[in-house]
Amino acid sequence: MPNMVYMMTNMEVMNQVVAFSRNLNGTLTFAGIFPTNGKGTGIKGINPVAASRGGIDPLSSQGALTLSPDGRFLFAANAGSHSISCFVLTNNGLPMLVDVKPSGGVQPNSIAVFGNLLYIANAGNFENNYGSNISGFRIDPNGRLTAIPGSTHSLSQFNAVPSQVLFHPDGSKILVSEITTNLISVFHVNQDGTVRGPILNESSGIQPFGSLFLSSGVLLVTEAESNALSSYSMNRNGRLNVISGSVPTGQKATCWVAVTKDERFAFTPNTLSGTIAVYRIDRNGALTFLRNVASTPEGVPTGLPMDVGVSKDGRFLYALNGNLGTISVFHILDEGNLAILQIAAWTTTPYFGSQGLAVL
């Protein structure tokens, strides 16, 4: 399997996936641009949180660009045309478009995959009377999508605004973080691929955003307004119990989360501060804030980091700079320290509006 990093342009006229090959030293080489045959939103934010950031983070979500766990497929949310695109990844890692389907709602912004089951979160458009929801699909062996009858399900409120949809590691539940309600909704997955629920859990902090399950089942959730990271345990019924509640970064707009391969450290971009926070995770899931690291080095334009991902060998961290359309490349050192290696670009001029990062 080739080593690749992908980002999404979210361009309004035609959404695109930009592919980079990853070298042995972690640096990136531009490999091509691949249209999704769908539309993005450009700099237009799809909700008040996004609009407040002036073209940075227009979809206000984690998971707008998502790899299947086996690394065979890459999925992109086309928020401007209310569709989802599926690419099969060729032997050299370059994406080949195989399907585009309606998302089952309006303004899709986050995608989750477990086995051959895919769920997409749709933010909705409240001015035009379209509510927030999630909708399910089956993925066939060639990457084509089939909507699951009866799988579309409303969130806790009409205007909940999802920021991420996420499968539990065993596939039995789907979690949705909701920005406007400060709720974390948990759905149970039925054998036919539909869902029931949701179980409503109060977020520890304000505006739950990016989320991630550790292999132990511990859940990490960032909080965009509280500028913090929380950890939770989840029982079989989908109820969350706080382990570490709203551990602050001291920065602004803490929104995404990624972890090291050994799951001892977590990284959370602080978008409006231009930094990445580093946390230690103990064996019980308790969090300790360690430090903030600049997304770009001194002497170059300040990068405002968004989506993040860690290489499969655990050695490198990648962060999408939403105000530049570039990717910051870091070497992950001992104790979660980060050393900047490169600012990788696909265009010679700064680009606002990109969203989504996937690391293969």
Cβ(280)–Cβ(264) below 8 Å:
yes
Neighbours of 290 (CB within 10 A): 15
> Does the pLDDT value for residue 1 go beyond 80?
no
Neighbours of 156 (CB within 10 A): 20
- Predicted pLDDT at 351: 83
Cα 228 from Cα 221, distance rounded (Å)? 9
Give 318-354 pLDDT, tens digit per residue: 999 999 999 999 999 999 999 999 999 998 888 888 9
Cα 166 from Cα 46, distance rounded (Å)? 20
- Predicted pLDDT at 350: 80
- Residue 221 belongs to domain spanning: 4-359
For residue 175, give Cα distances in angstroms to 117, 142, 167, 187. 14, 27, 6, 6
The dihedral formed by the CA atoms of 86, 62, 38 and 51, expressed in degrees to the nearest 10? 180
Cα 341 from Cα 339, distance rounded (Å)? 6
Lowest mean pLDDT among 9-13, 23-27, 123-127: 123-127
Q: The CATH number of the domain where 345 resides is what? A: 2.130.10.10
Give 115-142 pLDDT, tens digit per residue: 999 999 999 987 778 899 999 999 999 9
For residue 68, give Cα distances in angstroms to 144, 152, 211. 13, 21, 17
- Report the amino acid identity of residue 244: S
pTM, entire model: 0.96
Cβ(21)–Cβ(4) below 8 Å:
yes
Cα 293 from Cα 235, distance rounded (Å)? 34
Q: Are strands 83-89 and 95-102 parallel, antiparallel or unpaired?
A: antiparallel
Lowest mean pLDDT among 92-96, 156-160, 299-303: 299-303
Q: Kindly state the tokens that stand for 231.
A: 């950890």
Cβ(122)–Cβ(106) below 8 Å:
yes
CA dihedral over 94, 100, 103, 108, signed as positive or negative: positive
Q: Mean per-residue pLDDT for 162-188?
A: 97
Q: How many domains does the chain have?
A: 1
Cβ(224)–Cβ(246) below 8 Å:
no
- Predicted pLDDT at 50: 67
> Does the pLDDT value for residue 52 go beyond 70?
no
Cβ(18)–Cβ(340) below 8 Å:
no
> Does the pLDDT value for residue 170 go beyond 70?
yes
> Does the pLDDT value for residue 48 go beyond 80?
no
- Predicted pLDDT at 358: 98
> Does the pLDDT value for residue 2 go beyond 90?
no
> Does the pLDDT value for residue 103 go beyond 90?
yes
Beta bridge partners of 259: 266
Neighbours of 332 (CB within 10 A): 22
- Give Cα 108 distance to the centre of its chain: 12
Q: What is the mean pLDDT of the chain?
A: 95
